[in-house]
A = this chain, B = another copy of it.
Amino acid sequence: MDKRTHIINTALNTFYQKGIHSVGINEILKLANVAKKTLYNHFVSKDELVCACLELRDQRFNQWLSKQIADCKTPQQVASALFSAITSWIDNKAPELGDFNGCFFINTAAEYPQPDHPIALQCKAHKQAVLDLLITTLSQTAQLQNQTAKATQLAQLLMTLKEGMICQARVTHTTNHFLQNPKFLAQLMDAQA
Check if B156 sits within 8 Å of A160, measured CB to CB: no
Check if A17 sits within 8 Å of B161, measured CB to CB: no
Chain B residues whose C-beta falls within 8 Å of the C-beta of A44 in the assembled complex: none
Copies of chain A in the complex: 2
Chain B residues whose C-beta falls within 8 Å of the C-beta of A190 in the assembled complex: 187
Chain B residues whose C-beta falls within 8 Å of the C-beta of A128 in the assembled complex: 172
A76 at interface by CB-CB < 8 Å: no
Residues 89-109 of chain A, each 1 if its beta carbon lies under 8 Å from chain B, else 0? 000000000000111011101
Could you say which of A102, A105, A106 has the most chain B C-beta atoms within 10 Å of its C-beta? A106
Binding stretch for chain B, among A5-13, A46-54, A137-145, A173-181: A173-181
Check if B176 sits within 8 Å of A156, measured CB to CB: yes
User: Interface size bucket, A side?
Assistant: 35 or more
Q: Tell me the interface secondary structure of chain A in the complex.
A: helix
Closest-CB distance, A189 to chain B (whole angstroms)? 10
Residues 152-190 of chain A, each 1 if its beta carbon lies under 8 Å from chain B, else 0? 010011011111111110111100101100001001101
Chain B residues whose C-beta falls within 8 Å of the C-beta of A184 in the assembled complex: 191-192
Residues 63-96 of chain A, each 1 if its beta carbon lies under 8 Å from chain B, else 0? 0000000000000000000000000000000000
The closest CB in chain B to the CB of A109 belongs to B171
CB-defined A-B contacts under 8 Å, sample of 15: A19-B110, A19-B111, A19-B113, A22-B111, A102-B110, A106-B167, A106-B171, A109-B170, A110-B170, A120-B171, A127-B171, A159-B164, A163-B168, A164-B165, A184-B191
A contact residues vs B (CB 8 Å cutoff)? 17-19, 21-22, 101-103, 105-107, 109-111, 113, 115, 120, 123-124, 127-128, 153, 156-157, 159-168, 170-173, 176, 178-179, 184, 187-188, 190-192
